[in-house]
Amino acid sequence: MKKTVSFVLSVMMVLGLFTTALAMPFVPPEDFGTAVSDSIEVVTIKNTVENFLGEYNAEVWNGHDSDLTANTAAAIADAASYALAIDFADRAALATYQNNISYVQEKADYFSEIRETDGLAHSEPQYLYEYHDVTIDGNKATTSFTECVWFYYEGMDVETFIETEYEIELLEVDGQWLITNVTDNTWFDDVYKGTNFSASEAIFEKNLSADMYATSSQVVSLAPARPSANTLDYNHESAAGYAFTYTRDSDISMSAQDYYNKMFPQYASGGGDCMNFASQCVWAGFSADQTVASIDALKFPMDAYGSYTWYSHSRSTGGKTASWAGTLSFPAYIKNSNQSATEIGLKADYISLGKNEDFSTLTRMGYTLSDIKGAICILDFDSDGLGDHGIVLTNVNGTARKDILYCGHTQNVKAANLGDFSCPMAVIIPKYFYTGSSTANEARYTMLRPVGRNTTAYLQCSYQATQSSAC
């Protein structure tokens, strides 16, 4: 008989002092906030899942040396001893189950090691689990849920918030629920799950790639020389301010969707919202008029002219160009738009960085850290030359990846650390928007950073005042 239980569960850990990766042991939560309607089986499954993730997170965030075999199929030493408790198919699948858990252990070891190496101090993480369902079918169960973790990096006034979607499978053996598979929606599982991933080999390759590919960058396209008139400036702080405004934080009274700008369509459940969000940040960086009327009129800095276009309509109207919401089409739009300084559109510098290459490449080319803030990064997780995910760089405190924080959608993250990514990436730095007509009387807006939760706080100025930094 199949049963489905839907509920929301909150698990919060006490905020502690700042700690480096190895400084503070994991303290499991005492109260899992069990819903009144939960059956004993569901409660047992929840506790099993959360104890497992508690140990996993203790390793990846706090550097605790966790053993992830407890309450999993990896704890079964001999399938024959369970012959009376599980059917033949489950016994045959035991090796697969154990390999699944071994992979999660390797992943935990990998992130623990690279975060320890980065040495970034942060407050004790807090957790929230939002369950979508728990389905029990005989001696098997599946649960899907959102895990939210938040903390503060030392010296940061903005909370780091990371959202991960999980699906976990379990098998009941002799009255005990054991975890057999753990899958999340992160890039890491997409690239490495099922590949005999080894943490030690990956860390060796990561360190090796830092030397091998330190100068593997490529200038793909540069913005043409700026015309003397009819251009809009890019405000890097405004782009970062918009990114902080429309990414989720630890206010558990609000859902992830509450943080999306309701003026725009969102595509979180339709292929991903990452580039749609990144395009909005660029749009805001050009101090766009944040009204539905202006959006639907496709006013600058949207580009609805010529052969190459980049725009979105409002949520109520719907519709957008592929370049607005696609990680492949947006870079292609930049390259095409850069072909002419006097064709209406966004002009940007487009530079690719190799695997684990840091941003000192850009500073050697003359870019400042302030130039890099508000840039768009297109991440190539599997190194196939095709962009997989778009993010916005919001804090740039140095040229190492670990010194850079970013915001993004799908998964929803705020002020997360770029050092978790060793993959190649494209860096797109907006330079100006050519309007083809006078902008002297155009109203301009500058986002404040960080702005209030899910608000559009801005300063309203004339174009001339914006140009003279008077607002």
How sure is the predictor about 336, in pLDDT bands with cuts at 50, 70 and 90? very high
Residues 148, 164: Cα–Cα separation, whole Å: 6
Please give the angle made by the CA atoms of 114, 397 and 444, to the nearest 5 degrees: 130
In the predicted structure, residue 468 carries a pLDDT above the cut 60: no
In the predicted structure, residue 78 carries a pLDDT above the cut 80: no
Whether 159 contacts 259, CB under 8 Å: no
Question: Which token pair is 177?
Answer: 């629920």
In the predicted structure, residue 25 carries a pLDDT above the cut 70: no
How sure is the predictor about 257, in pLDDT bands with cuts at 50, 70 and 90? confident
pLDDT tens by residue, 30-73: 333 445 467 999 999 999 999 999 999 999 999 999 999 999 99
In the predicted structure, residue 325 carries a pLDDT above the cut 50: yes
Whether 155 contacts 397, CB under 8 Å: no
In the predicted structure, residue 110 carries a pLDDT above the cut 80: yes
Which positions ≥6 away from 267 have C-beta within 8 Å?
273, 276, 325, 410
Residues 372, 175: Cα–Cα separation, whole Å: 55
Which of 355-382 are b and which e, b meaning 16 or more Cβ less than 10 Å from the residue's Cβ? Answer: bbbbbebbeeeebebebbbbbbbbbbbe
Average pLDDT of every residue of the chain: 84
Does 388 or 440 have the greater pLDDT score?
Answer: 388
Please give the average per-residue pLDDT across 89-114, as a whole number.
Answer: 90
Whether 161 contacts 413, CB under 8 Å: yes
pLDDT tens by residue, 375-421: 999 999 999 999 999 999 999 999 999 999 999 999 899 999 999 99
Say what the pLDDT of residue 309 is: 97
Say what the pLDDT of residue 76 is: 80
Say what the pLDDT of residue 22 is: 36
Which positions ≥6 away from 253 have C-beta within 8 Å?
none
pLDDT tens by residue, 116-156: 998 989 999 999 999 999 999 999 999 999 999 999 999 88
Residues 398, 440: Cα–Cα separation, whole Å: 36
Indicate the pTM of the whole model. 0.86
Say what the pLDDT of residue 402 is: 94
- Return left, alpha or beta for 272; rule: phi > 0 is left, psi -120 to 50 is alpha, else beta: left
Please give the average per-residue pLDDT across 3-29, as a whole number.
Answer: 38
Please give the average per-residue pLDDT across 424-452, as a whole number.
Answer: 75
How sure is the predictor about 446, in pLDDT bands with cuts at 50, 70 and 90? low
Nearest alpha carbon to residue 240 among 402, 448, 452: 448
Q: Is 365 helix (H, G, I), strand (E, B) or coil?
A: coil
